[in-house]
Amino acid sequence: MTLLAELRADAASAKLFAAVFVGLAMGVLLVIGAVAISALIFSGTMAPLAIRGAGLVLFGTFVLCLAIALTGGYRGAVSMSQDAPVAVVVSVAAAAGASMAAAASETLFMTLVVILILTTAAAGACITLVGRIRITGVLRFVPYPVVGGYLAGAGWILAVAAFTIMSGIVPDWESLPRFVEPPALWKWLPGVAYAVALRLVLARWDHFLVMPLSFVLAAGLYHFGLALLGISDAEAAAAGLLFPNIAEHRLWPAFHPGDFAHVDWRVVIEQAPNILVVVPVVLISLLMDLRGIQAASGVELDLDREFRAAGLANMIAALGGGSPPGHHTICYSLPSRMFGAYSRLTGVVAAAFVAAVLFGGGGLLQWFPVSLMGGLTLFVAFDLLKEFLIGGRMRRLSADYAIVVFVFLAVAVFGFLEGVVAGLAIAAILLAVRLARIDVVEAAYTLRERHSTAKRPMSHRAILLDRGDSVRVYQLRGYIFFGSAHTLVDRLRTPLREDPPPLCILLDCTGVAGFDTSALDALGDFVAAASSLGVRVVAVAPAERQRTDLQRSISDRPPGAGLLVEREIDRALELCEDMVIARGLRGAGSDGLRTRMIADTMRYLDRQVIFEELVGRLDPWLESRTYAAGQTVAAAGWKQDGMSLVVEGRPSVFDEDGKRLRQNDPGDVLSVQAAFGDYPAPADAVADGRCRIMLLTPVARRVLENDNPRLALELDRYVMSSRSRSSGLMTSVA
């Protein structure tokens, strides 16, 4: 649906009334906020320029609200300059004003105009760039408890703002007694009563007309009450019951092109570094408000689109003279969803009201009682506090809820930016502690429990069975960082304290996502300690970057601190087996080991005698084939010519990634199915050295069954016994 069609559809639907009323209410708040921002920027000796500056801020607010409402993805967006960027701009303006204390008012005003233009343009360009190159996904990693605390803090700030709007008194410990005095009490009490009544009514009748009709009714009764009391609009405005007319004339344009001749460019250049500070502040502020809108409204947003919309709006606002950078305002955008006004018309109406004040004066504000506007603000504030602070404890882990409370308090005491930064820091520390508790050792075993696929003579197998405990294998997982590395190293050092220590420690890093610098340093210290005791450390690191990082971790260690790195666990196991076998062969060995070696060797020789005698009797039906080292015996998908009996050499089978699945010895029978018909090899087989294979084709098999069925039966028995002794892929593939 096109934008125009969408607006027409909303205008013809039941959303229209709610959108108009919510838009007007938000428009009033936008005007009040814009005037307040102008007063903050043009304060102190610059105060006489505040009304003129209000025109700049109102124009920027109008552009931000209209552009984002029409181009953003959240249809109820209401936008304006934000607190955190405004704080930076106020500090820049104060510094610029101090350096131009003796300058003429026109020079001072136009210099601040240029600073505002550059600030908003720079922020808009950076926000647009982030949205264009689509890196907002990285910003999604802000923890949800931080977002919840931010929203709860926004609720508190809104509540404070509501009482400030209604009473004209800024709430603090010293001013609290003034709130119960009659002059102030009659200002804020109607607003609180309206907010409570609206909450109770909506809890019973959740209809989109409740809010606008209730506001019209309450505003009518309020003006009727003023009339009964004989209080005129001017007297009510003077008493703070109605909004005053901020200007009797139009506020726009605030300057003309020829006025740029008064700019003090020296001051602008001096403030350039401070102007750039606003960019990261705006990015964080925009992200947090968007995350908050998503969490509170349940609407999934395309962050790239929202960033592009906010960036475009800021750059257009800069063309009109600039105002502090802004974007979606969470506090003013959520009411559209709450009151059934989820439509772009809400933002359009709010922008239209700002434009009416900007170009026609502020008399429209007097139609909106101050206390009722504060009551609406208080209503939204209570919803945020209830959802993310009061009701959050029952739905979150205690540590996460503690972060929510911490961020809420930081926002309430120090401000949004400080609260978010502090919350992110606490969340990062908590995450590090939680990750450090996760055991990065997924499994631990010895060579007695798992072997490589390399085929070993019986004597070597006996050594591995007897001394396999001298190799400890640790299968690692996840990302190993400073928090988990030291726990891991402490565990790895445990076998080093044994007497005697192990021969080798193998670290299987196949499941490791990466190492940080602290983890690599800790592993380097461990390798050095192991090497000093004569313990070899072998690591498995499939990725080139991991292998390089592990090797560098020991580059500055004492001589002899060596680390062997292999690409595959099978090759690493084979390497460790070679170490164990070499030590076993050098030593005299125990009587038990010699007995086992002799018994295993005799069983192997008996099997070989049986195999060679069987091959000799089958010779008339067999074909001899010879393969050189490295030659392909079979390739995946190849049709096999027949069943193969390995009489010399060791063919190995590899998967599609080049990982060895099995190594075969003389006496093994391969591709059994191929003796009975067509059979494609499911994996590659390669000769490790010179290999000779005796082939029994399907035709020869049928002839054998006819000529000598007893011999065919003996072959089948041998195949079955061979498969039971060495089960695996290689007995049925190749």
In the chain, the domains with their CATH numbers are: 3-429 (no CATH), 441-589 (3.30.750.24), 609-731 (2.60.120.10)
d(CA 580, CA 562): 18
- The DSSP secondary-structure symbol of 178 reads G
Contact assessment for residue 209 and residue 18, using Cβ atoms and an 8 Å cutoff: yes
Bridge partners, residue 538, by sequence: 506, 564
Contact assessment for residue 62 and residue 23, using Cβ atoms and an 8 Å cutoff: no
Identity of the residue numbered 514: G
d(CA 212, CA 210): 6
Q: Provide CB contacts within 8 A for 5, sequence distance 6+.
A: none
Mapped onto helix, strand or coil, the DSSP state of residue 146 is: helix
- The whole-number pLDDT of residue 64 equals 95
Contact assessment for residue 382 and residue 159, using Cβ atoms and an 8 Å cutoff: yes
Neighbour-count burial of 645, counting CB atoms closer than 10 A to its CB (0-12 exposed, 13-18 middle, 19+ buried): buried
Per-residue pLDDT at 586 exceeds 50: yes
- The DSSP secondary-structure symbol of 657 reads T
Q: pLDDT tens, 45-70?
A: 776 787 788 889 899 999 999 999 99
For residue 671, is it left (φ>0), alpha (ψ between -120 and 50) or beta?
Answer: left
Output phi, psi for 586, to 5 deg.
-75, -35
Per-residue pLDDT at 468 exceeds 70: yes
Average pLDDT, the chain: 82
- The DSSP secondary-structure symbol of 502 reads P
Q: How confident is the model at residue 473 (pLDDT cuts 50, 70, 90)?
A: very high
pTM for the whole structure: 0.56
Of 642, 603, 637, nearest to 624 (Cα)? 642
Of 456, 451, 514, nearest to 480 (Cα)? 514
Dihedral, 330, 333, 337, 343 alpha carbons, nearest 10: -150
For the beta carbon of residue 590, count every other beta carbon within 10 angstroms.
Answer: 11
Q: How confident is the model at residue 640 (pLDDT cuts 50, 70, 90)?
A: confident
SS3 content of the chain, % helix, strand, coil (to 5): 65, 10, 25
For the beta carbon of residue 95, count every other beta carbon within 10 angstroms.
Answer: 15
Per-residue pLDDT at 730 exceeds 80: no
Dihedral, 667, 670, 672, 678 alpha carbons, nearest 10: -150
d(CA 22, CA 69): 14
Contact assessment for residue 547 and residue 517, using Cβ atoms and an 8 Å cutoff: no
> 348 or 718: whose pLDDT is higher?
348
Identity of the residue numbered 658: G
d(CA 467, CA 27): 81
- The whole-number pLDDT of residue 550 equals 81
Per-residue pLDDT at 16 exceeds 80: yes
Residue linked to tokens 């592993």: 523
DSSP alpha helices (H): ranges in 587-638?
591-618
What tokens does 524 get?
Answer: 């380097």
Stretch (H or E) spanning 648: strand 643-648
Among 129-138, 238-247, 461-470, the minimum mean pLDDT is found in: 238-247
Mean of the pLDDT values across residues 344-365?
A: 84
Stretch (H or E) spanning 714: helix 709-725
d(CA 281, CA 482): 29
Q: pLDDT tens, 416-427?
A: 667 777 887 888
